[in-house]
Structure formats: C-alpha cells, structure tokens
C-alpha cells in the first residue's frame, strides 16, 4: 500500500536479499511500535540482513496487531503503558517479560491471530474489533462510536450498540491495559470524521 502510516513496527528479519517477504511472520517475541523519526536516524527500508520495517496507521492499529510501545523512542508512552499494565495485571514486568507474556495472546502455534468474543459495550476506547456481518473489516472503538479502519485512516462511523457481541482483534492483556487507563494515539482522521 502507498500509505506511510504513523508508527513503525519490528518483528525481526522477515524478508530476503531481494526484499521479498517469506513465510515467517515473526522471528522473536519482541514486537514494538516506534516513532517514524528518532534522533535523526535513517535507514533503507527492508535492507538485507536487517529487521523488516512494518508500518501502522496509528497506535490502536499497532496494539491490535500485538505490538507494544518501544521503550527507547517512545519512553513516555512505554512508561504509561507499563503503569496501566501494572494496574491491570498486578506486576510490573521488564520489557522481555512483557513480550513473553504478550506473545501467546497474539498468535497461535499455527500462526493465526488470537481473537476473542466480547460485548461491544464492555470494551474500552482504543480496542479494534470486527463485526459479525463482516469479519474482514476492522473497526475502532473510540469516542462512543465505531470507526471503520482503512490504510488511509478512519472513515465512516456508527453507534456501537452495547449488547452486540463482536470479535476482538486487540490481544486480551492489552485490552485490560486499556481498561486500566492506557490511551493510545489515534490517527487524526477520527477527528475529521
């Protein structure tokens, strides 16, 4: 897609020397989301032998994919995330332990995304879901509305309907951190809507 996104992610080296993606979808459990610009660092995208850059529309999208804030370039967000995690889960983990706790909640051994069912009215802002009528289109829970996700931003919105059961894309422990008060950054298209 031509859209650049608002954050960059990392799951290890997922491409070959010709910049083609292989079958791997991760090489380690340390899935982070980073700022696009940090300390003037520049690098070619998909350089052979270096990690594969992933790009996300916004933080809610990265969280739904199972990524957490980077402890280096997004230190303040990482600290806020850990504060909410600690409130939700009772213990403040190191970054590697946080990743080990998150990993089985992201993907199954067969490389399928872990999802769960929930009542829409019980989900916190920043959660990404799919609706029963269309399991392929993600929607963001935000501002008392559901916002339709796309690579370009959020488009149409609809009222959530609290009794509706939905499939949650955001990993359960991250949803629990959202319940405990973590608020992710959201693409400006939500405000435009």
| pLDDT for the residue numbered 24 | 73
| pLDDT for the residue numbered 192 | 62
Average pLDDT for 1-29: 80
Output 46 or 180, whichever has higher pLDDT: 180
What digits encode the pLDDT tens for the residues 146-156? 999 999 999 99
pTM: 0.90
| pLDDT for the residue numbered 49 | 80
3-state SS string for 71-98: CCCCHHHHHHHHHHHHHHHCCCCCHHHH
Give Cβ neighbours of residue 96 (< 8 Å, ≥ 6 apart).
Answer: 30
What digits encode the pLDDT tens for the residues 30-72? 789 999 887 777 777 878 887 778 889 999 999 999 999 999 9
| pLDDT for the residue numbered 68 | 95
């Amino acid at each position: 897609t031509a859209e650049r996104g608002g954050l960059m992610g990392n799951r290890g080296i997922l491409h070959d020397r010709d910049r083609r993606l292989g079958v791997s979808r991760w090489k380690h459990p340390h899935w982070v989301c980073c700022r696009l610009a940090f300390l003037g660092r520049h690098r070619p995208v998909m350089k052979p032998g270096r990690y594969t850059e992933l790009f996300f529309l916004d933080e809610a999208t990265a969280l739904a994919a199972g990524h957490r804030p980077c402890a280096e370039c997004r230190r303040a967000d990482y600290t806020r995330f850990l504060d909410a995690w600690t409130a939700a889960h009772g213990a403040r983990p190191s970054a590697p332990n946080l990743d080990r706790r998150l990993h089985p909640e992201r993907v199954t051994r067969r490389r399928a995304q872990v999802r769960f069912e929930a009542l829409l009215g019980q989900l916190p802002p920043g959660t990404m879901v799919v609706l029963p009528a269309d399991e392929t289109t993600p929607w963001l829970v935000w501002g008392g509305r559901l916002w339709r996700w796309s690579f370009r931003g959020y488009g149409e919105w609809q009222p959530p309907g609290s009794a509706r059961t939905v499939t949650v894309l955001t990993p359960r422990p991250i949803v629990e951190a959202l319940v405990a008060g973590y608020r992710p950054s959201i693409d400006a298209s939500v405000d435009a809507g």
